[in-house]
Structure 1
């Protein structure tokens, strides 16, 4: 046996103890806590109901009492806080209900999808539900109607966002041309 093999077999037999780590000190906690204390002039968070929210400052929570663990209501901010306050009053702020799949949408009576963005992706599973694999359709403000190529169901996007969106600046992106762009205007949907 070579010397390397002997050394390796002996090393395997010796029990290894994990390196002793120094226990964590709590000297940095005061520094971190000081960073987040309110200063004079800072808006103080308060518990308000869903009806009383008027500005973004109303979505700042009061936080938990010192020495207690905060609840979601005491620590959530922004859209998460708005969603929690809405659910407490039975309001689904983001309308997370599934699209109707009990019927097939037509151009006269499409399945309506609301969106606050310029574009949204819709997954069609057919009618009745799960009659085909999910087909993803892209609806946009410029092209609000889309038809599933599997079942023929028609979807329409209703834009519910700001009328003059400040983020709606053109980045040089042009929607790719499809065969629908070469159809005579007489046959376009309206």
Structure 2
């Protein structure tokens, strides 16, 4: 029969093979800065926004490069963020929601004549429907795309339409990628698609 023992009981019986040190070792970490006292770094300096471009002045990708932090300071997100992250931060400073993160309109059920519109910058968009009114059924995910902008929820019948807001040439001069079917739903006849 196998006896079970707790780990602490086994440790009490185990003999140490290494001699125990005569004194305990202690370390302490103290951070000091010329501006702070007692290791507390305080920074009450305002952020310099004079050499930063505003959201309206951004015209090209080069405008989204940061100016960097002053020498001897720790950079903030504003000092080092680039690209889309910088665009989002500049939008937050000016009070603009760059990504339009508002929830979808769930006060009404979309129909084919008057669908719930989802704006998308990409070629396709995943949309989750929880029913009308909200939370009347489990979340049902649908995929809408530029080729197939309408989709109907199979649980509640809510119709959602994708409105493409991206660039006219999303391939940037490259040939489009040939579409390969991934599931049985991709073999549905185009005659059965919503129009």
1:66 and 2:33 equivalent? no
User: TM-score, with normalisation over the residues of structure 1?
Assistant: 0.70
Q: Partner of 1:143 in structure 2?
A: 148
1:172 to partner: Cα distance: 4.3
Q: Partner of 1:22 in structure 2?
A: none
Match of 1:76 among 76, 81, 84: 81
SS in 1 for 2:142: strand
For residues 44-88 of structure 1, give each alpha carbon's deviation from its aligned partner in whole angstroms, at most 9, with x where no partner exists.
xx5111111111111111111112222221121110111111122
1:55 and 2:66 equivalent? no
Residues paired across the two proteins, number? 156
Q: Partner of 1:11 in structure 2?
A: 16
1:118 to partner: Cα distance: 1.2
SS in 2 for 1:136: strand
List runs of 5+ in structure 1 lacking aligned partners: 1-7, 18-45
1:178 to partner: Cα distance: 4.0
CA contact (8 A) 2:151 2:194 kept: no
User: TM-score, with normalisation over the residues of structure 2?
Assistant: 0.69
Q: CA RMSD in A?
A: 3.0
1:123 and 2:128 equivalent? yes
Task: Please give the alpha-carbon distance, in whole angstroms, between the structure 2 residues aligned to 1:182 and 1:55.
Answer: 42
Task: Please give the alpha-carbon distance, in whole angstroms, between the structure 2 residues aligned to 1:162 and 1:179.
Answer: 26
Determine which structure has the larger helix proportion and give its number: 1
